[in-house]
Amino acid sequence: TLPDVYWREFLVMSSAMIRARSSDAETNYDADAIESSEPLEWILDFVGPEVPRQIRTKTISKFDDIEDCEGQQIRQQQQQRPQLLMNYHASFLHEVILQFLKSAPQAENRTEQIRQFWDGFVLFNPGLGHPNLEKQWKPTIEFLFSTGKPILFTAHSELDAERDASVLEELLAK
């Protein structure tokens, strides 16, 4: 994973962008909500068979590197600052979803809640078209398509991208 300093910079930049956009009358952002006492929280779920198994959850605040020289006052300010919560799941997304479903099998509309849980998806070099991985990815890709959310794919090479695109086209044609 990236060092904490990069994630802290992400929090600084995202907060600045939201504040700038909230002052623009043309946007849909609610300036009152942004300036409220509610802290801005980003949640990133890293899911995949190659995600480090030793990390489960990590929280980063904009001010994690500040010395606690003023005690309680700094802690109170931190609670009002943007935070980034990162969850790590060393498995395929469809396996994570099955764990969620098993954790509350009686809940109403649980499947729909899971579909709405994430705002979008990024798959870093998944190797969807690799002969050894194609079947493993199919349930995850079908779930992603069912959400109607944006999906971004990256690839190691042009060949990798072409193989992945071929698999995606086949799944979309069904």
Q: For residues 113 and 140, which has the higher predicted lDDT (pLDDT)?
A: 140
Is residue 60 predicted with pLDDT exceeding 50? Answer: yes
Question: What does the pLDDT read at residue 68?
Answer: 46
Tell me which range, 13-27, 31-45, 78-92, 111-125, is most confidently predicted by mean pLDDT.
111-125
Q: Quick one: tokens of 116?
A: 């709405």
CB 62 within 8 A of CB 15: yes
Is the model's pLDDT at 6 over the cut of 90? no
pLDDT at residue 138, rounded to an integer: 86
Q: Tell me the pLDDT of the chain averaged across its residues.
A: 76
- Chain center to CA of 19: 21
Burial class (CB in 10 A: 0-12, 13-18, 19+), 78: middle
Is the pLDDT higher at 85 or at 109?
85
pLDDT digits (tens, 9 = 90+) for 132-148: 888 888 888 988 998 88
The pLDDT value given to residue 151: 92
pLDDT of the residue at 19: 64
pTM (two decimals): 0.66
- The model's confidence at residue 169, banded by pLDDT at 50, 70 and 90, is very high
